[in-house]
Amino acid sequence: MLRFVNLSRALALAGVLVLPLMVPQIAQADPRGKAENADISRGRYLATIGGCNDCHTPNYPETAGKVPESAWLTGNSVGWKGPWGVSYPANLRLSVQQHSEDEWIALASSPLRPPMPWFNLREMAEPDKRALYRFIRSLGPAGQAAPLALPPGAVAATPVISFE
Ligand code: HEC
């Protein structure tokens, strides 16, 4: 009996010693995959707290965020009407497919129609912008392109939220 206890203790101890040695080996086996996963989680976090879903995901504000991730960032056909005309939150799931990472980052930080807060996004640290792009790309393409923006004074065929 005493022997048995000692054996199981010895095994448990060996487990404790071996496990920490194994973990770094597993991590080293696929360092790129690990960095990618970290980027994707960070991108998901940034998209959530950065409010991207508020405009780019249908029904997100109305349901207090209870929209499955499969429908996130697919754009919105409810327009925003103001002195700039009518703008539609783009389908980011499609836009990341059409642009390389660098192109998308430049696009997301250059002047866009209101109410897109491009001036806030411009200030985001570059690694964070890359993480956002990688997260959105990881979701895959989905949905339809948002309607094209309209010039000032044009009448929209879709529902609009009016700033006027
Ligand atoms: C208040 C609403 C609103 C919020 C919040 C918002 N957007 Fe937008 N976004 C828009 C609108 C409207 C457009 C279309 C602008 C235009 O037509 O010039 C747009 C356009 C874009 C574009 C250009 C895409 C293309 O393919 O033309 C990118 C990229 C983008 N948004 C990224 C983001 C990201 C990332 C976030 C979160 C950090 C975000 N947006 C938050 C409303 C919003």
Output the average pLDDT for the chain: 88
Distance CA 129, CA 161 (A): 28
Mean local confidence (pLDDT), 5-32: 53
Question: Does ligand 1 lie within 6 Å of residue 56's CB atom?
Answer: yes
Q: What separation in angstroms does the CA of 106 have from each of 16, 80, 121?
A: 49, 23, 10
Pick the CATH number of 36-76+91-144 from 3.40.630, 3.40.50, 3.30.420, 1.10.760: 1.10.760
Question: E-strand spans in 85-159?
Answer: 85-87
Q: Which atom of ligand 1 is nearest to the CA of 52?
A: 37
Assess whether pLDDT exceeds 50 at residue 155.
yes
Among candidates 103, 121, 104, which has minimal Cα distance to 55?
Answer: 121
Q: Which atom of ligand 1 is nearest to the CA of 94?
A: 26
Question: Does ligand 1 lie within 6 Å of residue 108's CB atom?
Answer: yes
Q: Give the pLDDT confidence score for residue 30 in this predicted structure.
A: 66
Assess whether pLDDT exceeds 80 at residue 18.
no
Question: Does ligand 1 lie within 6 Å of residue 133's CB atom?
Answer: no
Q: Render pLDDT for 48-94 as a digit per residue (tens, 0 to 9).
A: 999 999 999 999 999 999 999 999 999 999 999 999 999 999 999 99
pTM of the model: 0.84
Q: Give the pLDDT confidence score for residue 28 in this predicted structure.
A: 55
Band of residue 9 on the pLDDT scale cut at 50, 70, 90: low
